[in-house]
A and B are shown apart, each in its own frame.
Chain A
Amino acid sequence: MVTVKINGVEHKIEAEADMPLLWAIRDLVGLTGTKFGCGMAQCGACTVYIDGSPTRSCQTLIGDIEGAEVTTVEGLKGKVAETVQAVWADLDVPQCGYCQSGQIMSATDLLANNPKPTDADIDAAMSGNLCRCATYHRIRAGIHEAAKRLEA
């Protein structure tokens, strides 16, 4: 049994220690915003924050994070995150949307640490998040637009 806080709520998770956090979140806790795309830290669809840092939940074992604070897309809060989400809708960034929870998690983290990212900063911070629909053009535009709104 592992105790973690997910989106501010304490969960006692009954699972083998080698269960990836991704499956604990999805199948045991029942939060489905965090997606499965590859299971080997290649696509970023499963990105969550662990104690504030973006982490691939598919490669994080539940047994290794006793006592941690996990934030999923459902628990994303604050000015930066809300601005990013609003911009995503205003610019119609998503196509299928499947990668977008992960994109939003990464983009929010980028802007929280770098309020005025350049294209190169964006490429560097976001290249771990695959989008098979190739919405990259709008992801870049979305991050610039969010930066602008946050500055204002």
Chain B
Amino acid sequence: MIPKLMQSITLPVARAQASRRQFLLGALAAGTGIAVGYRVLSASPALAGEAETESGSHAFSPYLTIGGDGKVTVLSSQFEMGQGSYNGIATLVAEELDADWSTIDVIGAAGNIKAYGNIAFGGAMQGTGGSTSMSTSWERYRKAGAAARAMLIAAAAAEWGVDATEIAVENGVLSHPSGKSGGFGVFAAKAATMPVPAEVKLKEPGDWKLIGNAELKRFDSARKANGTEQYTIDVKLPGMLTAVMIHPPLFGAKAKSFDASAARAIKGVVDVVETPRGIAVVGEHMWAAIKGREAVTVEWDETGAEKRGTPELMSTYRDLSGKTPAAFARKDGDADAAFTSAAKVIEATFEFPYLAHAALEPLNAVARRNDDGTIEIWGGHQLPDVYQNLASEIAGVPVEKVRLNVMKTGGSFGRRAVFDGDVVVEAVHVAKALGFRAPVKVQWTREDDTRAGRYRPAYVHRLKAGIDEAGKLVAWSDHIVGQSIMAKTAWDGMVQNGVDPTSVEGANNLPYAIENQTVGLTTTDVSVPVLWWRSVGSTHTAFAAEAFLDEVAEAAGRDPLEFRLSMLEPASRHATVLKLAAEKAEWQKPLPEGRFRGVAVAESFGSVVAQVAEVSVDGDGIKVERVVAAVDCGLAINPDQVRAQVEGGIGFGLSAILGEEITLTDGKVDQGNFDMYTPLRIDAMPKVEVHIVASANPPSGIGEPGVPPIGPAVANAAFKALGKRIRVMPFAKSLNA
């Protein structure tokens, strides 16, 4: 979600300069503890100015607090949607702090770009995406932990009248050879008054106890097993009302008029108000709002709305894929000449539908105006600065008067990182339309969540390959047709020479030595709202490339694994993960009767993942029995969470190719609930094995990279099982074709 090259973006965010430190500090001061941290971070020049504006006597800082009870609370710049970013960041802090892991908690933080700006995005905005949470936090949060540790030591040294170098810290306890000892809580208050060290020395890898520890458990699993974890849907405020939206039935339609008289007569319905994003039915509780909604009639103005359906769009895309691309993302050698002289040329077209994120918690947000005039918003703030700015405009208050409470959410997969703030904006609009007389939660239903847009765009890929007499791949072209995610948004500046990098990532950086290749792009103009969906461009580019490569290997009469390895440097990351996955899956050994396998490899967000999928025939289709994955994600901070993300990524990717599709009929979305939009269930989940390549490189992404290889690996295995190439998603469409 969200590409990594964000340096050039221009956002309304620049106006959010005035830090909301006051709010943050206020919130922290309300607790029992103190806040300590590290204010000068070499990795982020934006932070250099921070030290000047801050007097050394106030030791509060943006990254962690320690309570009088010794409890360490980490303030995370990265949003938690299930991917374990909080746990990873807590690991970094606790490692350098020598904290007691059982006392760690993490809360989401926002409103201080200097402190929380995503370094991988250039530091100019806070945001979670592109699987960057560990890379942006790697130095920042270890230094925060180390600085706090030094301050605690300084406080204890002063208290005990001993030399700081004689103090040891372990498991949340400071001790001195004289026998003196005390927990973090004892020294927390005094430590807050200690100067923040200008330099801290980080531990050597050999001294790590938590980083890289495969036995370390997530700090937040127990609360998820007993129902106490709090999500946005669980926010409850005094007097809070609940609203459901009536969105336009077509993308681009607008409400002309509405009749809410019947709705207002329903018990529990409080009001029906209009917002720029649709009509909101406000109730005392969710059920009243839902019932009220059924009673509202709306007349829509559909001029200018998108009225094309999936059949029309896909046939246009297919036609375009046969024409010359509008732009090129890669041109190596002379592909045209190489195709002409090739001994054999093969071609194939791949089709990918729109996909919904379908996080299990339907989108929601809560907004309230406080007595002091501030606007407070609870939600899954994946792009907090953007939402803060949008809310400030709507509510007509300065940005620093918008407070964000970053809640955990039941999934996101990219869906809560939106340019227009959709549900967050709705909550503020509805609260405003009610004259801010009560806090309002806007809660989408499943149908709203499925139908309100922001899909993985639909794409068509036309691929062509030329092989020489010796079976060597000498020419390759990939023409991608589909919508741009970033064009005409605040991210428009990312589109260079007609190429949205999110449309071509994974296609224009193939690792294989192919002398002559082109990657073309034709961006279509369709008013269906689109968005990044876990692993973004690689959701389709990796499928097209790796499934087609299998067809090429077949045409060349070569083993798919050997064929790939022959085009890779033997010591490359791609070759390494391919060989590891193949070895663990026993690629060279014949499979039992009725089992078939396929392989694929893909790089995304700095990590490389290979997967070998093993399938059996099941009726007209296939059943995926087992997947062996090998991963190079740099240093694995939480190896077991790396495994979890790859397991989940495999399930998520498999879900899409086996059973997910958003289709439109005359512009209207056909699917609504999980009876029509059908994510993977447990009975279709294969056994998964994940092997991690030992690496000392800085951590790269892991939330997304598990997704791309599964589709092609399974498609390649399915060909062996069924003799049919899978080129149209979801799978059943290829099998029935």
- State A85–B360 Cα separation when bound (angstroms): 21
Interface string of B216-230 (1 = CB under 8 A from A): 011011111111111
What is the CA–CA distance of A38 and B112 in the complex, to the nearest angstrom? 36
Residue contacts A-B, CB under 8 angstroms, 23 given: A18-B291, A27-B287, A32-B236, A36-B443, A38-B674, A74-B227, A85-B222, A88-B224, A92-B221, A94-B225, A96-B360, A100-B224, A104-B225, A122-B682, A127-B682, A127-B683, A130-B360, A130-B674, A130-B681, A131-B651, A132-B413, A137-B687, A139-B682
**Do most interface residues of chain A lie in helix, strand or loop, or is the interface mixed?**
loop
Stretch at the interface among B25-33, B131-139, B403-411: B403-411
Chain B minimum-CB-distance residue to A31: B227
Question: When the two chains form their complex, are residues B360 and A132 in contact, meaning their CB atoms are under 8 A apart?
Answer: yes
Q: A55 interface residue, CB < 8 Å from B?
A: no
> B83 at the A/B interface (Cβ < 8 Å)?
yes
Q: Which residue of B lies closest to A136 (CB)?
A: B685
Q: Nearest CB to that of A139 among chain B residues? A: B682
**A20 contacts B287, CB within 8 Å?**
yes
| Contact among B268, B640, B683 with A92 in the assembled complex (CB-CB below 8 Å) | B640
CA distance A88 to B218 in the complex (A): 11
Q: A134-B680, A139-B682 are in contact. Are A32 and B233 (CB under 8 A)?
A: yes
Instruction: Looking at the assembled complex, report how far the CB atom of B107 sits from the nearest CB atom of chain A, in whole angstroms.
Output: 16
Q: Which chain B residues numbered 386 to 417 have a C-beta less than 8 Å away from chain A?
A: 408-411, 413
Of B224, B640, B683, B688, the most chain A CB neighbours within 10 A belong to: B224
Query: Is the beta-carbon distance between A93 and B233 smaller than 8 angstroms?
Result: no
A108 to B81 Cα, complex, angstroms: 25
Contact B445 A39 (CB under 8 A): yes
List residues 641-699 of chain B with CB under 8 A from any CB of chain A: 641, 644, 647-652, 654-655, 673-675, 679-683, 685, 687-688
Question: Closest Cβ of chain A: how far from B425's Cβ, in Å?
Answer: 22
Chain B residues touching A, range: 35 or more
Within A60-115, the residues touching B (CB, 8 Å) are 72-74, 76, 84-85, 88-90, 92-101, 104
Q: Closest approach, in angstroms, between the C-beta of A13 and any C-beta of chain B?
A: 12
A35 within 8 A of B: yes
**Min CB distance, B449 to chain A, in Å?**
10
- CB within 8 Å of B: which A113-152 residues: 122-124, 126-127, 129-140
Residues of A within 8 A of B650 (CB): 134
Q: How far is the CA of A114 from the CA of B287 in the complex (A)?
A: 36
Residue of A nearest to B683 (CB): A123
Q: Mark B49-89, 1 if CB is under 8 A from A, else 0.
A: 00000000000000000000000000000000111100000
A35 touches B647 (CB 8 A): no
Closest approach, in angstroms, between the C-beta of B550 and any C-beta of chain A?
Answer: 25
Chain B nearest CB, measured from A135 CB (Å): 6
Q: Judge if A6 is at the interface, Cβ distance under 8 Å.
A: no
Give the distance in Å from the alpha carbon of A135 to the alpha carbon of B688 in the complex.
Answer: 11
A3 at the binding interface (Cβ < 8 Å): no
Pick from B81, B361, B648: contact of A135, CB under 8 Å: B648
Q: Which residues of chain A are near B683, meaning CB under 8 Å?
A: 123-124, 127
A132 CA / B409 CA spacing, docked (Å): 12
Residues of B within 8 A of A33 (CB): 226-228
B647 touches A134 (CB 8 A): yes
Instruction: Give A residues with C-beta under 8 Å from B.
Output: 15-16, 18-20, 23, 26-28, 30, 32-40, 42-43, 45, 72-74, 76, 84-85, 88-90, 92-101, 104, 122-124, 126-127, 129-140
Docked complex Cα distance between A127 and B679 (Å): 11
Give the distance to chain A from B226, nearest Cβ to Cβ, in Å: 6
User: For B688, what are the chain A residues with a Cβ–Cβ distance below 8 Å?
Assistant: 137
B contact residues around A45 at 8 Å (CB) = 360
Contacts of A32 in B (CB 8 A): 227, 230, 233-234, 236
A100 touches B411 (CB 8 A): no
- In angstroms, how far is the closest chain A Cβ from the Cβ of B708? 15
In the docked arrangement, what's the CA distance between A79 and B359, Å? 32
B362 at interface, CB cutoff 8 A = yes
* Chain B residues with CB under 8 A of A16: 267-268, 287
B410–A96 touching, CB < 8 Å: yes
A16 and B268 alpha carbons, distance in the complex (Å):
10
> Is B611 located at the chain interface by the 8 A CB criterion?
no
Verify if B446 is at the interface (C-beta below 8 Å from A).
yes
For the complex, what is the distance from the CA of A138 to the CA of B648, rounded to whole Å? 10
Contact (Cβ within 8 A) A23 B287: yes
Asked if B21 lies at the interface with its beta carbon under 8 angstroms from chain A, I say no
Q: Which residue of B lies closest to A20 (CB)?
A: B287
Which residues of B are found within 8 Å of A35, using beta-carbon distances?
A: 231, 233, 360-361, 410
- Chain A residues within 8 Å of B218, by CB: 92, 94
Task: Select from chain A the residue with minimum beta-carbon distance to B445.
Answer: A39
CA distance A43 to B359 in the complex (A): 11
Residue of A whose beta carbon sits closest to that of B224: A97
Nearest-neighbour CB distance to chain A for B544, whole angstroms, equals 23
Complex Cα spacing A101 to B230, Å: 12
* B286 interface contact, C-beta 8 A: yes
Does A99 lie within 8 Å of B410, measured CB to CB? yes
